Chains A and B, each alone.
Chain A
Amino acid sequence: MGSKRVITEKDLKRKDKLKALAAKSKPKKLSKKKKTLKVVDNEEITFAPEKKGSKLDGQKKKKKDIETEEEITFASEKKGSKLGGKRKKKEDIITEDKSMEVLRKRERDKSKKAARKETKDLVLSMKTSKFMLKRNESPADEVYHISSGDEDCSKGMNKWMAEYHQSRPGLEILQRQIDEFMNAHEKQEEEARKAREISVADDGFVVVKHHRGRKKTTDSESGTAVGSVSQAAVLDKMAKKKNKEVGIDFYRFQKRDAQRNEVMMLQSKFEQDRKRIQQLRATRKFKPY
């Protein structure tokens, strides 16, 4: 905590933004902090982002498992305690001022880590309890009445019924819609094709593509015959074709490899089974009754 820092209300308001930023990866974090600083610039704040960053790093080394989010809160907290005079201002801003005070006291007494954990819990419980309290006090506590919605069709049962009937306009209309779609679709495809042709033909040259292999007779995906040769004929031909490939156990080294692989497989299986047995033992799966 070498450098001197002045923290104002605005800065504290930014806290949450920082929170969000802090959770992101580190290099980014720093750069983004600079950005936020730019915004705050005109409000006479002295702030040493780089240093803070490095300080954060230091803290992180100490408590690796603590989320960065907390760290910032914590850091600002500490700043507050150092800056005695400015503290009051700060407290006004924090919503759960009382709890924070309690926290701060504890923070001084206890180890930082434990204190932080409690902070978290307390803030949480405060938030919820306060919220519940608000609920209990508010006049809106009584049971809220939902209108039956018979008048309008924007929500609920009537909406669903209306939707049901709307989506069933009759076969003709649906057919027409499909026809329209198909026409549009075809047109679109046609245009796309034309566009391709035009772009090619624009400069007067036609790019000749080299087609590898023989002409396709079957559609590669569906297997249906595209050309003149029927699928059955192809299959027949394929069946007649002798398998000329060399088997995977032709060479000795292949056999050796296969053997070795098998041994490896078995070993890994041993390992797995062993693990599983341990898990089973842990879950007491062997207790018969």
Chain B
Amino acid sequence: MEVVVSSTGAVIDPMDFKVSEVLKEVQLDYESPTVTKFIDETISSIKKVINKIPQDLKVGSDLAPGFIRDVNADKFEFSFKKPASIEIGGSYSIQALTKPSTSIDLFIRLPKECFHEKDYLNHRYHAKRCLYLCVIKKYLNASPKIKKIEWSTFQNEARKPVLVVYPVQEPDEIPGFCIRLIPTATSLFSVPKLNLARSNVRALTKEGMAPQATPRYNSSILEDMFLEENAEFVRKTLLGWKELREALILIKVWARQRTSIYSHDCLNGFLISVILSYLATASGGNRVNKSMKTVQIFRVTLDFIANSKLWDKGLLLQPHNQSNLSKEERKQYQQLFPVVLCDSSSQLNLAFRITKHGFSELRDEAAQTLNCIDKYRDGGFEEVFMTKVDFAAKYDYCIRIKADESKEVYASGFCLDEECWRTYEEKVHSLLEQALGDRAKSIRVTWRSSPSQWKIEEGFSEFSTSPLVVGILSSAPEKSFRGVDVGPNAENKEEALKYRKFWGEKAELRRFKDGIIAESTVWECQHWERHLIVKRICDYILSRHLALPEEKITCVAEQLDFCLLHGGKDSFSFHGSLLAAFEVLSKRLRSIKDIPLSVSSVQPLDPAFRSTSVFLPAPHPLANEKVKGRTSQLPSTCIQPVEVMIQLEGSGNWPMDDVAIEKTKHAFLLQIGDSLQKSWGSRCIASEDEVDVLMSGYAFRLRILHERGLSLVRKKVGNERMKQITSGDKELFIRGQHSSMINGLLGRYPVYGPVVRLAKRWISAHLFSSFVEEEAVELLVAYLFLRHLPFYAPSSRITGFLRFLRLLSNYDWTFSPLIVDINGDMTSKDEKEIHENFMTSRKAYEESPQNLDRPMFLATSYDKSSEAWTKYSPNSSELKRMVAYAKTGAELLTDFIVHNQTDPQKTWKSLFRTPLNLYDAVILLHRHKLAFPQRLLSRPEMIPGEMIKAKHVSEGKASKDFDPFMLRGDLEEMKKNLMVNFDPVRCLVNNLKEEFPETFKLWYDSVGGDAIGLTWDKLESKKRAREEMDDDENDKRQDPIDVLRNVGEVGRGFVRSVYLFKSPRLQN
């Protein structure tokens, strides 16, 4: 257990400590005289204005005609009287204000004189309430101390508007300070008239039918009537109980991070305080008592929310013995509302807005959080309080529906028992639930209003202009990717008819293998398009049943697929044939007899085998044993090899010398290649360092792992010995380990592959290819799946990719190692070892913060000191750049998912377009000379404005000799021209590194980009080298134009142009 010594020397739990720090951040300082004085003054000035409003002022519906029309109230008039009282209520009154929301509630008790006894009928109360506020607004507007007044709503209920007043002054301690004026209706009406079973809205009553009860409408009025009483109850419980108050703030922070539960149909600050008060009083069995610490109360409350059976019965704030609630009444509540939380008067269900889905979402989140606290080492502090669980990151599929212009939404009126938006939410939810069935784990539909610009006078048509958002949590792929849904049996006529009605032309009668004839829906598609089935279903059903044009429904699912497509097709489709070819190869390798040591094992190394490379190689027509004649497409000149690791039988006759070992390995490979060539006709192409075998359309690069190195690694005889192992063998061994572990992970999470591919594409598109190893990206993404709390493991590529960007940008790289426990078998001893390694790597940092060794510390069970992938790069400045890019990328992506885009510049493609002006110089390449031009992300020729500040240094023509596509011709000639692993970009980068050592840093895209970024090396770090240099030599290196011209020369025939943005800074 970690322990922390506080500044006073007392030993406290780190969770308590962190929590107290969070509380400091979000709490308002109630002791501060400036703040309290300011607040008191502001409120008294508002009071003054309200009290000065002339009495008996005639108020008519002309103040807000639109509102009166839309709530469907009768015409009336009343004379204004000043409020019965104006009191501070809400979170400020119980000292539980939680930043960043800094609004103070002011309860304005409506005077009885303004209302008739029967005004509870037909929205008359709501209309008068609104008009009363209109009058106040009019007079407040004239006050010089007030900057602006906006309309808002009480718990997102349009018929219950409130006024938000912003004072001119704004103290620094409370940015965004505002005061909400909330009318209350204490004892305005007779309570029995508002009994849940009564019908109080005439519009609902159809002729000849029994009147329909209006429980929600009644609750809406009752809520106002008991608002003050309930606030007082909460205040009494919480005041003077610091821990309880703090727990309330903590739960607010927790809930606010989770957008799906902190909403109108689920939790709000007031309800949290009510639940806490319930738990702290006798009625809740005193589950929370005064001896508990803040964190304990937090935990107990979440546990109560997640697990208590009492929710089924309903909670009563009244103690049992005093309860005046009859059994029938209780039953009535339970029938009408999914969640019952009766207030102290037992007249009102405080939780009347909570929906079934909202509540199950809440319980689920609470359960997940408890899981976090139990499972994670540091009590899950980061996950519980600091991680944003918003729609975009939480749900696998997000759908935006722009329905505000759809007449259907409010066809039968804006406000009946419920408001039309809530009814519409319910409708969309049930449609999707029926359509998706078990494909979805859960579905959440919310339509938030954005009434900040709302003009109440014009009514409700402009009320919900923001889109309705649907979040879908997908089930396991075997369910959600299912191609055929079997419906009711054809003999069941009634059901079949219903099914047909729901699915329309999609429903077809099918005969299945087991002989059953049933209605069914079929979603045929390519294997690599299966992640789009959910989207297709949603699109189809929503547009069929909601009568909305297609462009109003946006389902986020395929928007990023463009960057993985290779010639209009996802290269994942080659995965099967690649694995088949590998099987054949390994069989043939094992059966080779004419070599001294036979092959004992064959293992795939390349990311292509585990379908985690951005582009899996396509089978090449010229790489087959028997080359077929003509193919439809022009074959490419280059072929991307895939690496395979071979182990030979053990032998004592291996040479001891490193060079000799490598040569012997190579000799073996040549013999193997020769043998394959002779017995199977597979071509073998070899150079001094590499041996490639062309077989079944693929080029396999063979590598031998020598067991001498291997046994050493296994034994791990001291660290000294480790270093002696030939680096080649060590690297191969580690890659082998990594490969098999990732393969296992892929079996568990099929979505892992596409997420890694997107992540890799992003890394390389932003020119980080030379700084981040592919394996490092794989580990980062693996972390998302293995340590997924507070989320579920991602089930869609976009969600996974978004979480990858957030991980990269939010992770505390400097102070924590990222431990990826792929097989889940790490012991606490292993973790301790990793932490010790990490601490040693950070020792130098404490002395000088520039000197950060392995800034990205990635530890796994096969590599506990982060030496395999991130030992040399990225360094801290590279990591910093990457983190900054990831941050903007994540923000942009979140925006794309949740909001409608209006800016044409911001397209999904811009996520993968790196701004070139952030480099000191840029080399642009001839696109049609890239090894695989089809892989280029379509970047506009020149982004307008991007190059304006640049100086065009040189330009060059393309070489005529190299063409990425072969011309049809003589077969032998074509075979000769086939180049394995030839990549001009890599050649250029290597060449430049050789020619200009320590002059600049190169940023390039290894996947498919036509730009290379250049940043000048800081001369500072090369001080010693510079000192030894003569003066004139010093001068030479400072001429960037000459340097860049030479750079262009090195890439002759490939470099299109070179631009200079910034000359190197001369500094000491």
- Identify which of A57-65, A81-89, A167-175, A245-253 touches chain B: A167-175
User: CB distance B954 to A168 under 8 Å?
Assistant: no
A213 interface residue per 8 A CB criterion = no
Closest-by-CB residue of A relative to B386 is A288
Distance (whole angstroms) from the CB of A68 to the closest CB of chain B: 11
Contacts A132-B1063, A288-B253: A143 and B952 contacting too (C-beta < 8 A)? yes
Task: Give per-residue flags for B1041-1067: 1 if the beta carbon is below 8 A from chain A beta carbons, else 0.
Answer: 100010011111111010000010111
Residue of B nearest to A124 (CB): B1066
Q: Which of A146, A161, A280 contacts B1049 (CB 8 A)?
A: A146
CA distance in complex: A62, B975 (Å) = 75
Chain B residues lying within 8 Å of A171, measured Cβ to Cβ, are 670, 673-674, 677, 684, 686
Least CB separation from B846: chain A residue: A275
Given contacts A175-B667, A221-B708, A270-B5, contact A158 B21 (CB under 8 A): no
Distance to closest chain B CB from A30 (angstroms): 17
Which of A1-9, A147-155, A202-210 has 4 or more CB atoms under 8 Å from chain B? Answer: A147-155
- Bound-complex Cα distance A16 to B385 (A): 59
Smallest Cβ-Cβ distance to A178: which chain B residue: B667
Known: A161-B962, A222-B712, A286-B18. A156 touches B954 (CB 8 A): no
Q: Which of B453-495 contact A (CB under 8 A)?
A: none
Is there a chain A Cβ closer than 8 Å to B666's Cβ?
Answer: yes
Q: Name the one of B687, B954, B959 contacting A148, with C-beta atoms under 8 angstroms.
A: B959
Q: Are A270 and B4 in contact (CB under 8 A)?
A: yes
Would you call A20 and B1053 a contact (CB within 8 A)? Answer: no
CA–CA, A288 and B1031, complex, Å: 54
**Residue B707, interface by CB 8 Å:** yes
Q: Does B652 have its Cβ within 8 Å of any Cβ on chain A?
A: yes
A99 within 8 A of partner (CB)? no
**Nearest CB to that of A125 among chain B residues?**
B1066
Could you tell me the distance in whole angstroms from the C-beta of B1020 to the nearest C-beta in chain A?
Answer: 12
In the complex, which of the residues B24, B100, B721, B1068 contacts A120, with contact meaning CB atoms closer than 8 Å? B1068
Residue of B nearest to A16 (CB): B1031
Q: Which residues of B contact A155 (CB under 8 A)?
A: 1049-1050, 1052
Count residues of B near A (Cβ-Cβ below 8 Å). Answer: 89
B25 touches A287 (CB 8 A): yes
Q: B1052–A67 contact, CB under 8 A?
A: no
Query: Contact string, A262-274, partner B, CB cutoff 8 A, digits 1/0?
Result: 0000100111111
Flag whether B719 is at the interface (Cβ < 8 A): no
Which residues of the other chain, B, contact A286 by a CB distance below 8 angstroms?
18, 21-22, 24-25, 386
Interface residues of A in 130-154 (CB under 8 A from B): 131-132, 135, 140, 143-150
B708 x A222 contact (CB < 8 A): yes
- The answer, yes or no, to whether A198 is at the interface (CB within 8 Å) is no
Query: Are B1052's CB and A148's CB within 8 A?
Result: yes
Binds A, one of B748-756, B869-877, B979-987: B979-987
Beyond A23-B1027, A157-B1052, A273-B4, is A288–B26 a contact (Cβ under 8 Å)?
yes
- Interface: B934 (CB within 8 A): no
Interface string of B241-277 (1 = CB under 8 A from A): 0000000000001001100000000000000000000
The secondary structure that dominates the A interface is: helix
Binary CB contact string for chain A from 213 to 243 against chain B (1 if under 8 A, 0 otherwise)? 0000001011111100000000000000000
The answer to whether A148 and B1050 have CB atoms under 8 Å apart is no
The answer on a CB contact under 8 Å between A270 and B3 is yes
How far does the Cβ of A38 sit from chain B's closest Cβ, in whole Å? 20
Q: Are A157 and B684 in contact (CB under 8 A)?
A: no
CB–CB A288/B1066 < 8 A: no
State A271–B9 Cα separation when bound (angstroms).
11
Say which size band chain A's interface belongs to. 35 or more
Structural contact, B961 and A178, CB atoms closer than 8 A: no
The answer to whether B660 touches A288 (Cβ under 8 A) is: no
- Write the chain A residue with the least CB distance to B692: A168
Is B1053 a contact of A150 with CB atoms below 8 Å? Answer: yes
B711 A164 Cβ-Cβ under 8 A = no
| 176-222 of chain A: CB within 8 A of chain B | 177-179, 181-182, 185, 219, 221-222
Is the C-beta of A54 less than 8 angstroms from some C-beta in chain B? no
**A221 to B1055 alpha-carbon distance, docked (Å):** 50
In the complex, A174 Cα to B708 Cα: how many Å? 25
Say whether B17 faces chain A, with CB atoms less than 8 Å apart: yes
B663–A181 CB distance below 8 A: yes
Indicate whether A261 reaches chain B with its CB closer than 8 angstroms.
Answer: no
Q: Identify which of residues 211-243 in chain B touch chain A, using a CB-to-CB cut-off of 8 Å.
A: none
7 pairs of A and B residues whose beta carbons are closest in the complex: A156-B1052, A146-B956, A149-B1052, A157-B1053, A144-B954, A148-B957, A157-B959
4 new A-B contacts, CB < 8 A, other than A131-B1063, A276-B815, A289-B100, are: A146-B1051, A146-B1055, A156-B1054, A270-B11
A-B contact list, 25 entries, CB within 8 Å: A69-B1068, A143-B955, A145-B955, A146-B1045, A146-B1048, A146-B1049, A146-B1052, A148-B960, A148-B1052, A150-B960, A155-B1052, A156-B1052, A158-B1053, A167-B688, A171-B686, A175-B667, A185-B663, A222-B708, A224-B652, A266-B3, A271-B5, A273-B5, A277-B4, A285-B812, A289-B257
Interface residues of B (CB under 8 A from A): 2-5, 11, 14, 17-18, 21-22, 24-26, 100, 253, 256-257, 385-386, 388, 650, 652, 655, 657, 659-660, 663-664, 666-667, 670-671, 673-674, 677, 684-688, 707-708, 711-712, 715, 721, 812, 815, 839, 846, 929, 952-962, 979, 982, 984, 987-988, 991, 1027-1028, 1031, 1038-1039, 1041, 1045, 1048-1055, 1057, 1063, 1065-1068
